[in-house]
A and B are shown apart, each in its own frame.
Chain A
Amino acid sequence: NAGVTQTPKFQVLKTGQSMTLQCAQDMNHEYMSWYRQDPGMGLRLIHYSVGAGITDQGEVPNGYNVSRSTTEDFPLRLLSAAPSQTSVYFCASRTGTNYGYTFGSGTRLTVV
Chain B
Amino acid sequence: DAKTTQPTSMDCAEGRAANLPCNHSTISGNEYVYWYRQIHSQGPQYIIHGLKNNETNEMASLIITEDRKSSTLILPHATLRDTAVYYCIVRVATGSNYKLTFGKGTLLTVNP
Which of A12-20, A37-45, A66-74, A75-83 lies on the face that meets chain B? A37-45
Q: A40-B104, A42-B104, A42-B105 are in contact. Are A100 and B99 (CB under 8 A)?
A: no
A33 partner residues in chain B, CB cutoff 8 A: 99
Contact B43 A104 (CB under 8 A): yes
Interface SS majority for chain B: loop
> Chain B: which residue is nearest A6 at the CB level?
B43
Contact B100 A97 (CB under 8 A): no
How many residues belonging to B are interface residues under a CB distance threshold of 8 Å? 24
The verdict on B68 contacting chain A, using a C-beta distance below 8 Å, is no
Contact B96 A103 (CB under 8 A): no
Within 8 A of B (CB), among A70-112: 90, 92, 96-106
20 residue pairs from A and B, CB less than 8 Å apart: A35-B102, A40-B104, A42-B87, A42-B102, A42-B103, A43-B44, A50-B97, A97-B95, A97-B98, A99-B46, A100-B34, A100-B46, A100-B48, A101-B44, A101-B46, A101-B100, A103-B44, A103-B45, A105-B42, A106-B43
Interface residues of A (CB under 8 A from B): 4, 31, 33, 35, 40, 42-45, 48, 50, 58, 90, 92, 96-106
